[in-house]
Amino acid sequence: MERLSWDQYFMAQSHLLASRSTCTRLVVGATIVRDKRIIAGGYNGSIVGGPHCIDVGCYMIDGHCVRTIHAEMNAILQCAKFGEPTDGAEIYVTHYPCLQCCKAIIQAGIRAVYYAKDYKNDPYAQELFEAAKVTVKKVPFDAVISFRSLREQKN
């Protein structure tokens, strides 16, 4: 029986996390992994206890919603809150990280970024990842997993 690769497995986790997003503009999820173990996950949404875009709308300034914390940042902050080191970890994200998340990823010591979809890929972010020797790899994700075919393989 075929099973998911590690990249597919962790990307699937990121897509599952994205389903919790409260952003109306883009649904994003992120999973931080160290030694093939999930250490944190995040999705884009408002601060704890704050109003959510899906309830009250986006708070737009200069074309950006400032109400939302990005999935990557939420995952990194979860590590900080619970004392989980990120140095040497990897992050799986449903979309290419923005420039601010790129800088946070580098500062957190994350050594690899795996993303499923291109989204406004910033050339400076790419330059920063290269300079910091952070591996960046596109891992396309097919959200459809055929459980029927898996069952058929068992029988």
Mean pLDDT by 10 residues, the chain (155 residues): 87 96 95 98 96 96 93 98 98 97 98 97 98 96 54 47
Predicted pLDDT at 141: 86
Query: Would you report the helix, strand and coil content of the chain in percent, each value rounded to 5?
Result: 35, 25, 40
Predicted pLDDT at 142: 75
Predicted pLDDT at 2: 78
- How many angstroms separate the CA atoms of 20 and 68, rounded? 13
Q: Where do we find the tokens 């400076």? A: 124
Active site residue 84: no
Structure tokens at 55: 């309830």
Predicted pLDDT at 148: 41
Burial of 130 (0-12, 13-18, 19+ CB in 10 A): exposed
Tell me which of 72, 90, 127, 152 is the catalytic residue: 72
Predicted pLDDT at 112: 98
- How many angstroms separate the CA atoms of 16 and 28, rounded? 10
Predicted pLDDT at 64: 87
